Amino acid sequence: MTGAEGGADLLLLVASIVGLGVFSQLLSARFRVPSVLFLIVSGVAIGPEGLGVLTIDSFGESGLSTIVGLSVAIIVFEGAFHLKIDKIKEAPSAVLRLTTIGAAIAFFGTAAAVHFFLGAHWDIALLIGALLIATGPTVITPILKVVPVRDRVAATLETEGIVNDVTAAILAVVLFKAMAVGEETLTTELYLQLFAERLGTGLLVGVVVAAVVWSVLQYVDLSPDNAPQNARLLTLAGAIVAFGTADYVFSEAGVAAAATAGLILGNAGLPYEEDIEAFKGDITLIVLSFVFITLAALLEFDQLFMLGLGGVAVVVTVMFVLRPLLVFLTTRGDRFTFRETLFMSFVGPRGIIPASVATLFAIRLQTGVAEGGAPPTNPAGADLLVGTVFLVILVSVVLEGGLARQIAEKLDVIPMRVLIIGGGRVGRSLAERLEARGENVVLIEEDLTVLKELRNDGFTARQGDGTDVEVLRESGAENAKTVVAATGDDDANLLVAQLAKSNFDVENVIARANQPSNASAFEDLGVQTISAAESTAWAIDNQIERPALSNWMSELGRSGDVQEIEITEEALVGKQIVDLGSELPNGVLIALVSRNGTSEVPTPDVELERGDHITLIGRSEAVREAIEQCGRPV
């Protein structure tokens, strides 16, 4: 074959991989399943186990290493760029524990499982354990796009993925380098030195590159006609330069450099930031598709089958023992519900970092080539490394990625988003009650002191002026079912209500009227209005005339609950109240039936019709069970 023919074949192969990657993304959007699943299937289909079009010799060992390295740089940079400091603050303690204590549990637990179930030598077992720490934004972000969980849950999972990507890559290369040094010279000081060299170099290079890119974008005229394009290209070049420079100094330091540069630039308020994010997102999708398909194509089924029952035991240990253990231990004390904690336990798929680094290490183990030293040629160790890592990736992606939405729906962790503008006593109290019922509450507060207090107490709070359209949009107003204007300023509440109605078409807008005379202005907009004066008078009247009811209402959302639901189940249509009541859990009563705009306390012989709204009152857990039986919350 001539050089021209080989080049043409390689070009056709690259074009085919990109085409399959884009097609996989389209399938992902169509079926609302993370794209990683389709990418792996595509890679296997064109690899040695499928059509045999793509093999390890297609790009050459050094070519594959370079391609994967640059791709990882772009992927990690893009993930870090989207990681906003405000998002990290939404769950600071959980993130810190997940990325330290949780990472340690995953590392040592996985290594022990590989050693005992597969009989691997400790050096290979620890290497596999280090790689499988990483969940990664490449698999977590697609899941969260189709599973809109509460913001603090998403922030925790995303941050864990990005931080652990860097941790896993650096720790793995330290262990691999240590294998080259030889057991007789290994010391704790050597491990720490290797780790510190790579992490320190990555941080330093990342900060320098980020500073240069930021300075150019802020102070250099990028040509008005092409400024957005130049900003996009400069940022992309910064990611690659940061990775390449740090990796030149110490191998695998580039991952830390790319992550550091991305995190700094993503929070620096760059000009044309939206253009940069859109451009990088498209580039990352193509790069991610290319790398995942290529690495999956290099997988041989023999490497999986040779693991036998021991491999299955490792997967079960990683997914169903270690992951739940580390999540429950590290998220204790935070404002996560039991169901949310359980969901996070089931969402820990492994992604691009374990796959890419494991493949590169396997090549070096097979050939005996490594930078800074040459470990003994170890084909058996290479097969064990690739087989174990890819088995965990395949099973975790298929089960946890493919079934993530079904798991979330079963656990009921996809809540209604509620925006509360105003983090004072009223907004805070309302947020506490709504969160106790599992709603996804986001508070918007302008005062920095109040904002800090809200975050310290575990609330999801964003800084900003609630009368600003962009602040509302960034806080999720486009996906909100309810917006509550709860500030002490009626003018601000009125403007918030207008924006929520006209700009975002929010279904349910509720406003606090501090002055009774202003209530009519809110009602003219079609906004549900709560008069502060009338609400206080009503509460006092209840305390005087109905003290038992008043006390119970004060505890509402803690031990008791009241929920209005719509009858949607065909089996309930035509049933009488007496029949339905006997089927409800103990501790639940049907207080009201609403139909055609009128509500009444139902008699036992009232027959239910489709679309009826019924109000359930009782113990919190019993009310939730009744909702699952009867229909959907209004």
Domain count across the chain:
3
Task: Answer whether residue 406 shows pLDDT above 90.
Answer: no
Residues 513 and 581 in one domain: no
Residues 523 and 568 in one domain: no
- At which of 411, 431, 462 does a domain end? 411
Helices 323-330 and 103-118 cross at an angle (nearest 10°) of: 160
Residues 307 and 347 in one domain: yes
pLDDT at 204: 94
Output phi, psi for 478, to 5 deg.
Answer: -65, -25
Residue 519, in any domain of the structure = yes
Residue 242, in any domain of the structure = no
Residues 529 and 624 in one domain: no
- At which of 411, 440, 464 does a domain end? 411
Q: Give the domain CATH number at 331.
A: 1.20.1530.20
pLDDT at 325: 94
Q: Give the domain CATH number at 423.
A: 3.40.50.720
pLDDT at 440: 81
Residues 406 and 449 in one domain: no
Q: What is the pLDDT of residues 329-359, one digit of tens each?
A: 998 877 788 888 999 998 888 877 787 777 7
Residue 589, in any domain of the structure = yes
| Percentage of residues of the chain with pLDDT beyond 70 | 85
For residues 382-403, give the mean pLDDT. Answer: 83
Residues 327 and 458 in one domain: no
- At which of 363, 387, 411 does a domain end? 411
Residues 432 and 359 in one domain: no
Task: Answer whether residue 226 shows pLDDT above 70.
Answer: yes
When mean pLDDT is compared across 252-266, 334-348, 575-589, the lowest value belongs to: 575-589
Residue 236, in any domain of the structure = no
For residues 156-166, give the mean pLDDT. Answer: 83
pLDDT at 104: 93
d(CA 470, CA 299): 46
Residues 381 and 458 in one domain: no
Residues 180 and 328 in one domain: yes
Q: What is the pLDDT of residues 491-517, one digit of tens each?
A: 888 899 888 888 888 888 888 888 888
* 609 vs 437, residue with greater confidence: 609
Q: Which two tokens stand for residue 489?
A: 């300023």
* 175 vs 279, residue with greater confidence: 175
pLDDT at 108: 94
Residues 163 and 183 in one domain: yes
Residues 395 and 474 in one domain: no
Q: What is the pTM of this model?
A: 0.68
Residue 226, in any domain of the structure = no
Domain that holds residue 290: 3-187+268-411
pLDDT at 370: 47
For residues 373-398, give the mean pLDDT. Answer: 74
Residues 530 and 569 in one domain: no
Task: Answer whether residue 34 shows pLDDT above 70.
Answer: no
pLDDT band at 220; cut points 50, 70, 90: confident
How would you label 465-503 residue by residue, b for 16+ Cβ within 10 Å and e otherwise? ebbeeebbeebbbeebebbbbbbeebebbbbbbbbbbee
Q: Give the domain CATH number at 624.
A: 3.30.70.1450
How would you label 26-41 residue by residue, b for 16+ Cβ within 10 Å and e otherwise? ebbeeeebbbbbbbbb
Contacts of 222 (CB under 8 A, 6+ apart): 216, 230, 231, 234
Residue 198, in any domain of the structure = no
| Percentage of residues of the chain with pLDDT beyond 90 | 12
Mean residue pLDDT across the chain: 80
For residues 81-99, give the mean pLDDT. Answer: 75
For the ranges 161-165, 237-241, 252-256, the maximum mean pLDDT occurs at 237-241
Task: Answer whether residue 595 shows pLDDT above 60.
Answer: yes
Residue 140, in any domain of the structure = yes
Residue 201, in any domain of the structure = no
